[in-house]
Amino acid sequence: MFNLIVSTGVQSETSGTIAAGRVFEYTDDGLVAQFMPNGKLDLAAVVSLPTLFMQEGVSDEIAGIGWLSRVELQGKDYQLHFILDQAVPRLTNEIIRAMASELRMGDWEFSRNHWAIKNVDLFQLLYKQKMGERPVPRVFPLSRNPVNPKLISMMMPFESSSTETYRTVKTAIEGAGYECRRADDFWLHPHIMHDIIELISTSKVIICDLSGKNPNVFYEAGIAHTLGKEVILITQHDSDVPFDLSPLRYIPYLNNGEGRRDLASKIVDLLCTVVREWPR
């Protein structure tokens, strides 16, 4: 998913404005409910998405791609602070219009200031169009296998204290007709890290258990975020969520029978939101 911000108020490479009344125009109702629950903008959620910044027009207007760093409501406008991704070449509105159908943009969106959210992998689309090159890791190879839309993976310590959590969540997910795995469920490569990368690369959603501040899980969460995966964070203790991840939403849980069952139920409900093709 990505934010689409079309605004004459974005005239610099670091800040701009958008009218609050134009937020989430041309946005599917399900995404509005997800990112503006009870009519209030979920700031932590929107800043976690990449953003396409544009001005109105269909020709040589320059557009950039980056990340919102801060959003503040001041009067009738949102003040936007952002960082443009220097690794992605600047685009023009003419180029973007040629990709409009793949970006799920309508013609009217090029001539109206608004903020929308589109359920499209922006970087994957740019990569296919050869407008942005993703870096190639030197430490491990990325999988060449396609994403399995029914595969959910869990990143957690391989410890007995995590086993029951994994079993409970796995049972709930597979009870809904889908697959749940973690890296010790299979052995494809001599090095376990290669199996972990294979699992992250081919999964639709990654669940990361931050309990215990396990450095391996933090590393795997970073890889999943970098690859543009949908990531669900869970933890037994709020204090185990590091500063860099604290702005993101996560699911706290108790590591007992009732707590694990409640966690599994919440994860399945959330999956029905982030994977829109799943049945509700």
Return the pLDDT at 41: 93
Rg (C-alpha) for the chain, rounded Å, is 20
What's the per-residue H, E or C state across 46-114?
A: HCCCEEEEECCCCCCCEEEEEEEEEEEEECCEEEEEEEECCCCCCEEHHHHHHCHHHHCCCHHHHCCCE
Residue 134 lies in a domain: no
Task: For 115-164, write each residue's pLDDT tens digit.
Answer: 999 999 988 888 777 654 556 677 777 777 778 888 999 999 888 778 99
Q: How many CB atoms lie within 10 A of CB 227?
A: 19
Confidence (pLDDT) at 190: 57
pLDDT along the chain (280 residues), means of 10: 94 90 96 93 92 94 91 94 83 93 94 96 79 64 80 89 92 91 68 84 93 94 88 95 89 95 94 58
138 lies in some domain? no
The predicted pLDDT at position 244 comes to 87
- CB contact at 8 A, 216 and 188: no
Instruction: Please name which of 153, 220, 211 lies closest in space to residue 193, comparing C-alpha atoms.
Output: 220
| Residue 255 falls inside a structural domain | yes
The answer to whether residue 186 sits within a structural domain is yes
DSSP 8-state class, residue 140: S
Are residue 83 and residue 177 in the same domain, yes or no?
no
C-alpha torsion angle, residues 101, 103, 108, 114 (rounded to 10): 170
For residue 124, the tally of other CB atoms under 10 A from its CB is 14
Question: Do 117 and 7 share a structural domain?
Answer: yes
Instruction: Single out the residue in 73, 97, 128 at which a domain terminates.
Output: 128
Which domain, by its residues, includes 116? 2-128
Among 128, 161, 188, the domain boundary falls at: 128
Question: Which of helix, strand or coil describes residue 30?
Answer: helix
Q: What CA–CA distance (Å, rounded) separates 158 from 166?
A: 10
Kind plus residue range of the DSSP H or E element containing 175: helix 160-175
Q: Per the confidence metrics, is the pTM higher than 0.85?
A: no
Q: How close are the terminal C-alpha atoms of the chain, in Å? A: 20
14 shares its domain with 86: yes
Asked if residue 124 and residue 152 are part of one domain, the reply reads no
pLDDT recorded at residue 1: 93
Q: What is the pLDDT of residues 183-192, one digit of tens each?
A: 776 655 556 7
